[in-house]
Amino acid sequence: MKSIVSKITVGFAGVISLLMFIWPLLIPATATNQAHLAQGIFIGLMPVILVLVLVEFSSGSIGSKQLAVLGVLIALNAVVRVLGAGTSGIETAFFLIILGAYVFGSGFGFVLGSASLLVSALLTGGIGPWLPFQMMAAGLVGLGAGTLPKFDSRWLKLATLSIYAMVAAFVYGSLMTMWNWPFLAGSGGGLGYSAGAPIAENLTHFFQYELISGGFLWDAGRAVTTTVLIWLTAPALLATLKRAAGRAGFEKN
């Protein structure tokens, strides 16, 4: 029963996070609601993460030892992200989020991704209306990585992680663009947001905007960086994380 509650909580956090990005496809946008939306999400996201941790803790999935492991990985990833922080599309944070979530599970991955971006922003002063969206997007990357199939074959494992890293890099970039796309591209035209238009029409405009603005090119840098880092570090890091999971008595959700 506790495991079911834990999975429901993780799924709820993921759905709420996703809805916060695709709101342009669901509700009309106005020129004045961006700041209010960002502030509301930032206020609402923290309790979601806190509740997620508490539910995981109470369900037995995350205990004191597991929280210690989570804290270490968050701190490590926050420092690692400073090395790239998205410069020219180079992003060094996601490989550890993906690997950690792959070993420890979706709930762990969601918190690891969200908290890593928060701590790194505090370290670098990168705090702004974009931060809660970065946290949610990174949390979704971790949540998805926790659902990946587990293979015994080293090559199948690396291939699965690499393919996911490529896809997740583009999804992260697209989500980060979509939340403020109506304000960047304006309304109407072939690239702008059309309030109340069919979802397919707005999606077409959005992907055209991503192509012309170079968003997909920027995401390609993130995809390549993350994939290369996974190939370089996954064999050693997965073995280390699995040993840590065993010693901490970790149960994946």
In a domain, 196, yes or no: yes
Domain containing residue 165 = 2-248
Structure confidence by residue, pLDDT tens digits, 63-99: 677 788 888 899 888 888 877 655 556 788 899 999 9
What are the tokens at 4?
Answer: 């079911």
What are the tokens at 171?
Answer: 């999804």
Q: How many domains would you assign to the chain?
A: 1
pTM of the model: 0.84
Structure confidence by residue, pLDDT tens digits, 15-27: 878 877 887 777 6
In a domain, 127, yes or no: yes
Given this model, what pLDDT does residue 193 score?
78
In a domain, 253, yes or no: no
